[in-house]
């Protein structure tokens, strides 16, 4: 069972995760803007920017984050923004999005000049996240855990970050036991997605380069 | 607009900003 502190941590993180979302007018644009490679490119760039802002607002609410060294806060966010973005957009490809949005978003991504070699691993990741049937609590905790990775470049006080991440991992482990009692491997599979995210992150830099070129 | 700022600029700006209620 979660102890009192863990329960408080979980509801606090979940509340922040639900509160800080891509603004509704952005979602409307997703549906309204007409379909061309340029439009899709601009829209995805705008969504990525808005997503970084949403991510920072969420991260400010992670208990202990704002007491970390200021430059370490920047390094953590810079190092994890891409992964957190893929994780959050993965939710769009599970049952979370209203009917129709997912198909439109998928079409826009496929027709935005991003080369096929990046599209395939991206949608494989979305599919593997979907298969895990994750609860909102798991998404919120996994996002916080991704951000609090002590091994990001330029982190000076890795131990302080590690302590925060460990507290989150412990809560996630218990949540997995409670929410997926018949799947003992569930927690391990969630952590496995984090490694998959790292590969996507690695591809992302190359993807941006080739996207700019085309 | 924010979209032509670099990733770090967007992060610094958002971190500085007050949490809007």
- Distance from the Cα of A37 to chain B's closest Cα (Å) equals 18
Q: What is the pLDDT of residues B1-21, one digit of tens each?
A: 555 568 899 999 999 885 443
Q: CB distance A74–B12 less than 8 Å?
A: yes
ipTM: 0.82
Task: Tell me how far CA of residue A180 lies from CA of A10, A116, A174, A195, A206, in angstroms.
Answer: 17, 35, 10, 21, 37
Q: For testing the chain B interface, which of A58, A65, A75, A78 should be mutated: the one with the most B CBs within 10 Å?
A: A78
Chain A within 8 Å of B12 (Cβ-Cβ)?
A: yes
Q: What is the pLDDT of residues A31-68, one digit of tens each?
A: 777 778 888 888 888 888 899 999 999 999 999 999 99
Chain A within 8 Å of B16 (Cβ-Cβ)?
A: no
b/e burial code for range A94-114 (CB count within 10 A of at least 16 → b):
beebeeeebebbeebbeebeb
């Amino acid at each position: 069972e979660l102890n009192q502190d863990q329960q408080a941590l979980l509801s606090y993180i979940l509340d922040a995760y639900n509160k800080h979302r891509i603004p509704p007018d952005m979602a409307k644009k997703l549906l309204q803007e007409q379909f061309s490679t340029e439009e899709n490119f601009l829209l995805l760039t705008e969504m990525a920017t808005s997503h970084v802002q949403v991510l920072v607002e969420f991260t400010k609410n992670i208990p202990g984050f704002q007491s970390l060294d200021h430059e370490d806060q920047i390094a953590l966010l810079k190092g994890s923004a891409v992964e957190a973005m893929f994780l959050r957009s993965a939710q769009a490809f599970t049952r979370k999005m209203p009917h129709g949005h997912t198909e439109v978003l998928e079409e826009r991504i496929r027709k935005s000049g991003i080369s096929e070699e990046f599209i395939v691993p991206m949608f494989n990741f979305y599919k593997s996240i979907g298969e895990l049937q994750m609860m909102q609590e798991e998404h919120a905790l996994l996002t916080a855990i991704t951000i609090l990775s002590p091994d990001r470049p330029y982190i000076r006080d890795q131990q302080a970050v590690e302590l925060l991440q460990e507290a989150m991992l412990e809560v996630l482990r218990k949540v997995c036991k409670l929410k997926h009692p018949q799947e003992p491997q569930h927690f391990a599979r969630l952590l496995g997605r984090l490694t998959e995210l790292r590969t996507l992150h690695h591809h992302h830099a190359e993807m941006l380069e080739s996207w700019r070129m085309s | 607009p924010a979209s032509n700022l670099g990733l770090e600029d967007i992060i610094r700006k958002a971190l500085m900003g007050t949490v809007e209620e």
